[in-house]
């Protein structure tokens, strides 16, 4: 009889130590997932959506950003007109480059042509990042990090659009 009792006690001790192990394991797992969550949050890029439309407009002309953070800047063309008539892109210039001046020199100096969809192929030293030329309902994403503070101008390089399709990203 006492042998059975001892056995039961031993079994329950074993069970409780097994339970403890499971508990510790669960706590560790929870700890790891919290940590992983934190790290994921840290590296997740900040999303900025800019829309372009058939009225030759961006929906944002001023954007604030922070130095050193990762951004995903998404251009969405919500227009309906064909690309050949009302295409839009987003060209972010390097800090200190003026969008109006760059826009005026797109064709004469920076190599934008109908054949290359108005991409300023000779102006790359002035450009930080650029999307492709978008037709109706298309979108393109720029993954970008600003490594110094300042004003970064942006514009659309479709002929004549830079007059109103431009803006500034203020990075601090």
Among 91, 92, 93, 156, binds Cu ion (CB under 5 A): 156
Report how far residue 143's alpha carbon sits from residue 90's, in angstroms, rounded to the nearest whole number.
Answer: 13
**Which C-beta is closer to Cu ion: that of 126 or that of 161?**
161
Query: CA 91 to CA 98: how far, in whole Å?
Result: 12
Beta strands in the chain (DSSP E): 46-52, 62-65, 70-77, 91-93, 127-130, 139-145, 150-155, 166-171
Choose one: 16-24, 39-47, 108-116, 153-161; the region binding Cu ion (CB under 5 A). 153-161
* By the rule CB under 5 A, 58 interacts with Cu ion: no
Among 50, 58, 77, 88, interactor with Cu ion by CB under 5 A: 88
Place of tokens 């064709």: 107
Q: Which of 126, 158, 166, 171 binds Cu ion (CB under 5 A)?
A: 158
CB of 165 to Cu ion, least distance (A): 5
Residue 119 found at the interface with Cu ion (CB under 5 A):
no
Termini Cα distance of the chain: 79
């Amino acid at each position: 009889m006492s042998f059975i009792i001892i056995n039961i006690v031993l079994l329950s001790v074993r069970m409780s130590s097994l339970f403890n192990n499971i508990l510790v394991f669960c706590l560790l797992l929870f700890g790891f997932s919290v940590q992983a969550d934190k790290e994921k949050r840290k590296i997740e890029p900040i999303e900025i959506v800019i829309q372009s439309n058939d009225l030759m407009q961006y929906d944002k002309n001023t954007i604030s950003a922070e130095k050193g953070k990762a951004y995903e800047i998404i251009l969405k063309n919500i227009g309906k007109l064909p690309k050949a008539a009302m295409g839009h892109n987003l060209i972010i210039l390097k800090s200190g480059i003026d969008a109006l001046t760059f826009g005026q020199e797109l064709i004469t100096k920076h190599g934008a042509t109908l054949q290359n969809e108005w991409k300023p192929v000779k102006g790359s030293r002035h450009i930080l990042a650029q999307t492709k030329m978008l037709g109706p309902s298309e979108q393109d994403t720029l993954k970008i990090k600003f490594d110094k503070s300042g004003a970064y101008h942006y514009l659309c390089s479709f002929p004549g659009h830079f007059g109103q399709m431009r803006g500034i990203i203020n990075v601090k």
